[in-house]
Amino acid sequence: MQRGSTYIVLFAAGVCVVCALFVSTASVALRERQQENALLDRQKKVLTVAGLIDDGERPRAEEIRRLFDENIEGRIVDLASGRYALDIDPTNFDQREAASDPDASRPAPSNRAGVRRVPDHARVYQLMEGGKVSAIILPIEGKGLWSTLYGFLALGPDTRTIRGITFYEHGETPGLGGEVDNPSWKQRWPGRLAFDEDWEPVIRVKKGSAGSPDEDPHQVDGLAGATITSRGVTNLLQFWLGEAGFGPYLERVRGGETA
Ligand SMILES: Cc1cc2nc3c(=O)[nH]c(=O)nc-3n(C[C@H](O)[C@H](O)[C@H](O)COP(=O)(O)O)c2cc1C
């Protein structure tokens, strides 16, 4: 009886060790693939918000890479000064990592977007057409109801007119806050204005329906049954378009200094 128990324990331990080895080997072997896929997904979202891929379109990986390489330039911006940081290599820059590194970020001023730390540097993308910047794509993030939403906002070269918005990661409820992914909601953004005449970031998701971009340039339809996520989108946009976010950079772009 005693021998039987030892055998069972040893057998179970052996199975555990084999499984642990298998899982850790798979995890290490697949890490590079996962990173590649994450990069590809981000590039696809940038292309979508820039209008080079339709929402729901599923181009092959090579097509995504080609479109991205031919049309998009990634650049690193020093958020406080709004200048390009030419000493930082955009390919290896990880903005999320920077935001959690005390040496590469600072505490955010009090804000409603739930942003605790602002990275010293951020990555922006530029859509190039005929050698000119035709859209600026900014990373945005902030709290919804259950999660932090991560996405991109595309602005026209006037830095005021919205070209598109997309979120590539969030944990809001499908059918409620998760409707941020609904293509028909995203289609309500292009043509709206992110700033008022005094360059205050005033774009907001209202409760209920907004008019057309001409009638209601600063407001977008709320998400039904998801007021908190809707408010979160307003808050994160106003934060990242403001002084602590991309405000200084956008001011420089308007001044023609850097774009
Ligand atoms: C299971 C469950 C999931 C919910 N998910 C969300 C959500 O993702 N985003 C959100 O704003 N509200 C969500 N809500 C609703 C909020 O609790 C809250 O009632 C809502 O934001 C109020 O919006 P309304 O004024 O448009 O009804 C959820 C509620 C329940 C019960």
- What is the Cα–Cα distance from 173 to 36, expressed in whole angstroms? 27
Return the best residue to mutate from 170, 172, 176 for the ligand 1 pocket (most ligand atoms within 8 A of CB): 176
- Model confidence pLDDT, tens digit, residues 187-241: 999 999 999 999 999 999 999 999 999 999 999 999 999 999 999 999 999 999 9
State which ligand 1 atom lies nearest to the alpha carbon of 228: 11
The dihedral sign for the CA sequence 109, 112, 117, 120: negative
Weakest-pLDDT range from 35-39, 97-101, 119-123, 185-189: 35-39
Tell me, using a 6 A CB cutoff, whether residue 177 lines ligand 1: yes
Return the pLDDT at 91: 78
Q: What are the structural domain ranges in the chain?
A: 72-254
- What is the Cα–Cα distance from 202 to 218, expressed in whole angstroms? 6
Tell me the average pLDDT across 9-28. 90
Return the pLDDT at 3: 65
**Mean predicted lDDT score pLDDT of the chain:** 94
β-bridge partners, 235: none
pTM for the whole structure: 0.88
- What is the Cα–Cα distance from 10 to 14, expressed in whole angstroms? 6
Looking at the predicted structure, is the pLDDT value of residue 43 above 90?
yes
Return the pLDDT at 258: 53
Residue in the structure block whose two tokens are 């590649």: 36
State which ligand 1 atom lies nearest to the alpha carbon of 225: 26
Looking at the predicted structure, is the pLDDT value of residue 38 above 90?
no
Look at ligand 1, atom 5, and give the residue with the nearest C-alpha. 173
State which ligand 1 atom lies nearest to the alpha carbon of 230: 11
β-bridge partners, 169: 150
Q: Kindly state the percentage of the chain with pLDDT values over 70.
A: 98
Look at ligand 1, atom 26, and give the residue with the nearest C-alpha. 225
Tell me the average pLDDT across 128-144. 96
- What is the Cα–Cα distance from 23 to 41, expressed in whole angstroms? 24
Return the pLDDT at 2: 56
Look at ligand 1, atom 12, and give the residue with the nearest C-alpha. 226
- What is the Cα–Cα distance from 70 to 127, expressed in whole angstroms? 9
Tell me, using a 6 A CB cutoff, whether residue 137 lines ligand 1: no
Q: Running DSSP on this structure, what letter comes out for residue 107?
A: E
State which ligand 1 atom lies nearest to the alpha carbon of 172: 8
Tell me, using a 6 A CB cutoff, whether residue 176 lines ligand 1: yes
Q: Running DSSP on this structure, what letter comes out for residue 221?
A: P
Q: How confident is the model at residue 259 (pLDDT cuts 50, 70, 90)?
A: very low
Residue in the structure block whose two tokens are 């979160």: 232
Which pair of structure tokens corresponds to residue 230?
A: 């809707």
- Model confidence pLDDT, tens digit, residues 101-123: 999 999 999 999 999 999 999 99
Weakest-pLDDT range from 92-96, 220-224, 227-231, 245-249: 92-96
